[in-house]
């Protein structure tokens, strides 16, 4: 039986995973949940209510008809770091506004989303255009309010949909279907919707489901040849970017260090928040018989919840089990000391 020794204050869990060619790996995961600082200049503090390490995906509602809330962690690793945020857009001082610009910055990774009050397509003296937005104070930020959705079925009975965000709103086949119908409440400020033909990238901060574009395009080709030669392994053209669930703008191509500066704007009536990530660097060691292997764990997940004012950091390390799965004896987690090198 494999022993797990955790010398950190964080949660740990390990999984048996496999790579593209079916080779077995041990994947060790460490998760830390922190509370936002209570005041400017203070540091985040470990939360007494840590978020669990999930094996499987978790959705906000029925899978396929709701947003991905948490990605499963039973995977060998991600090339970089997934960053996500869940919450509500809140105007400064709870003053009603027609629109609000929100921002999330983590180091050099940035995402902006412009949030509108309710609006519809109208046809009048100035032509076919969006109506003036209704003032709002609070607006949810999930993908059901971003561009996407399903069109009304055509004469052949087929209903076109936006594969990037099937649960969204504003995807219409023409003016006849769009008149008096709602526009998305979330927009990329660089891709404003001005015409019924516009097809902007869905704007948001949440995770992308495996069946949505562009993520599903990285999964590879599942054809007759794959069934004959590869199933149930990943296809030969599988791209590891499929393992990333973050919005394309929030996917760091390389793992974050874990000490980056964070800036949050538009998610609280009290105003922006700014703080630095804690800078933890966990190490994981595994004993295989008399041999011991160690490595720094990569930070490949960072999720903020602006409603609970918490964030989760997820680190991962994977070790090949080829021809030695039964030699695995102990997994140890600890935090790297300041005097240790980065190697």
- In this structure, is residue 320 part of a structural domain? yes
Q: What is the pLDDT of residue 232?
A: 93
63, 136: one domain = no
Convert the pLDDT of each residue in 225-284 to its tens digit.
Answer: 999 999 999 999 999 999 999 999 999 999 999 999 999 999 999 999 999 999 999 999
CA distances from 91 to 28, 48, 96, 342 (A): 41, 29, 7, 42
* Angstrom distances, CA of residue 52 to CA of 19, 137, 161, 231, 250: 24, 32, 34, 32, 22
Whether residue 110 is contained in a domain is answered as no
Cα 311 to Cα 296: distance, rounded to the nearest angstrom: 21
| 315 shares a domain with 239 | yes
Spell out, as residue ranges, where the chain has pLDDT lower than 50: none
| Rounded CA separation 26/321 (Å) | 6
d(CA 69, CA 89): 17
Residue 194 within any structural domain of the chain: no
Given 187, 217, 243, the domain boundary residue is 187
Please write the tens of the pLDDT for every residue from 23-38: 999 999 999 999 999 9
Can you give the pTM of this predicted structure? 0.94
Same domain for 68 and 211, yes or no, is yes
Structural domain span for residue 183? 115-187
Q: Are residues 268 and 330 in the same domain?
A: yes
Give the pLDDT of residue 54. Answer: 96
pLDDT over 70 for what percent of the chain? 97
Asked whether the beta carbons of 66 and 59 are under 8 A apart, the reply is yes
Q: Are 230 and 286 contained in the same domain?
A: yes
């Amino acid at each position: 039986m494999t022993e797990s020794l955790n010398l950190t204050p964080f949660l740990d869990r390990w999984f048996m995973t496999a790579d593209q060619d079916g080779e077995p790996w041990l994947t060790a995961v460490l998760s830390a949940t922190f509370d936002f600082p209570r005041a400017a200049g203070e540091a985040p503090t470990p939360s007494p209510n840590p978020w669990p390490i999930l094996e499987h995906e978790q959705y906000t509602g029925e899978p396929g008809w709701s947003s991905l809330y948490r990605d499963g962690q039973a995977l060998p690793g991600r090339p970089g770091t997934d960053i996500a945020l869940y919450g509500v857009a809140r105007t400064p001082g709870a003053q009603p506004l027609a629109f609000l610009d929100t921002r999330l910055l983590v180091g050099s990774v940035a995402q902006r989303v412009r949030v509108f009050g309710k609006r519809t397509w109208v046809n009048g003296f100035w032509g076919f255009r969006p109506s003036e937005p209704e003032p709002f104070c609070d607006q949810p930020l999930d993908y059901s309010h971003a561009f996407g959705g399903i069109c009304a079925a055509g004469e052949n009975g087929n209903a076109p949909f936006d594969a990037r965000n099937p649960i969204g709103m504003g995807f219409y086949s023409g003016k006849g279907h769009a008149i008096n119908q709602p526009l998305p409440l979330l927009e990329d400020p660089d891709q404003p919707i001005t015409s019924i033909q516009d097809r902007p990238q869905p704007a948001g901060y949440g995770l992308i489901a495996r069946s949505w574009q562009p993520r599903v395009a990285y999964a590879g080709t599942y054809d007759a040849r794959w069934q004959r030669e590869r199933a149930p392994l990943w296809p030969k053209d599988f791209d590891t970017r499929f393992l990333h669930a973050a919005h394309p703008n929030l996917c760091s191509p390389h793992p974050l260090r874990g000490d980056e500066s964070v800036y949050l704007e538009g998610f609280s009536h009290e105003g922006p928040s700014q703080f630095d990530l804690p800078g933890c660097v966990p190490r994981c060691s595994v004993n295989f018989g008399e041999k011991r292997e160690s490595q720094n764990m990569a930070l490949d997940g960072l999720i903020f919840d602006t409603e609970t004012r918490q964030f989760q950091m997820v680190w991962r390390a994977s070790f090949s089990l080829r021809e030695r799965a039964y030699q695995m004896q102990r997994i140890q987690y600890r935090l790297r000391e300041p005097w240790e090198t980065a190697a």
